[in-house]
Amino acid sequence: MPLWMSTCGFVGLCRACGCPDGGDESVDFACEVSLQALCPPLDTSPHIARDFVATVLRTLELDDTLVDDAILCTSELVTNACVHAKGDSTVLWLAVEEGRLRVVVYDGDENPPVMRELTTETWEQGGGRGLCLVDAVTEGRWGHGPDIPYGGHEHPHPEGKAVWFDLPVDPHPPVRLPAAP
């Protein structure tokens, strides 16, 4: 599927045809959609990442609950990368395949993410809940490793890590009837 990149670094597509100027073809879940976005270490990067994921998944007309879950989990991973990781930028990779959405956040820090134990004391201190949220929302379908996703394959990288999560995608979403006039 063809991709395009705007001057601000947003990578996008329009429907199944992939053209940036707007096509009228419908989405075909049998084909894989794979996109990337660069997230510099700025306070606004989690917001930009949420908008990126929301735009792509809503363009694909995926279920609202899936979109909300993906936005939440993406925000947590990008926030962790911006706050805790070293390096000049974070790469967000999103792939939609039949039956699965995978989001991977790559950063330049080799240290693995740490899921903190939630207690009353740690809850009141604030922070440290992100991976617990990701774990709960994805039902444990997340992980990390020293790999960068590229073209559906994993490639080792000498510095940094990839933190990922998966969410199930219904390949045959229910038919939406038009609203009554």
Q: Where are the domains of the chain?
A: 4-168
CATH number of 4-168: 3.30.565.10
Contacts of 91 (CB under 8 A, 6+ apart): 36, 37, 38, 39, 105, 106, 107, 148
- Looking at the predicted structure, is the pLDDT value of residue 22 above 70? no
Question: Which of the pair, 89 or 63, is modelled with greater confidence?
Answer: 63
CA-only gyration radius of the chain, Å: 17
C-alpha of 122 from chain center:
27
Question: Which of the pair, 106 or 73, is modelled with greater confidence?
Answer: 73
Among 11-25, 74-88, 119-133, 158-172, where is mean pLDDT lowest? 11-25
Q: What is the rounded average pLDDT for all residues in the chain?
A: 75
Give yes or no for a contact between 45 and 90, defined as CB atoms under 8 angstroms apart.
yes
Question: Which of the pair, 2 or 101, is modelled with greater confidence?
Answer: 101
Tell me the average pLDDT across 40-45.
86
Residue 37: pLDDT band (50, 70, 90) is confident
Residue with tokens 């395009």: 4
Q: Enter the DSSP assignment of 152.
A: T
Cα distance between residue 113 and residue 110, in whole Å:
9
Give yes or no for a contact between 44 and 36, defined as CB atoms under 8 angstroms apart.
no
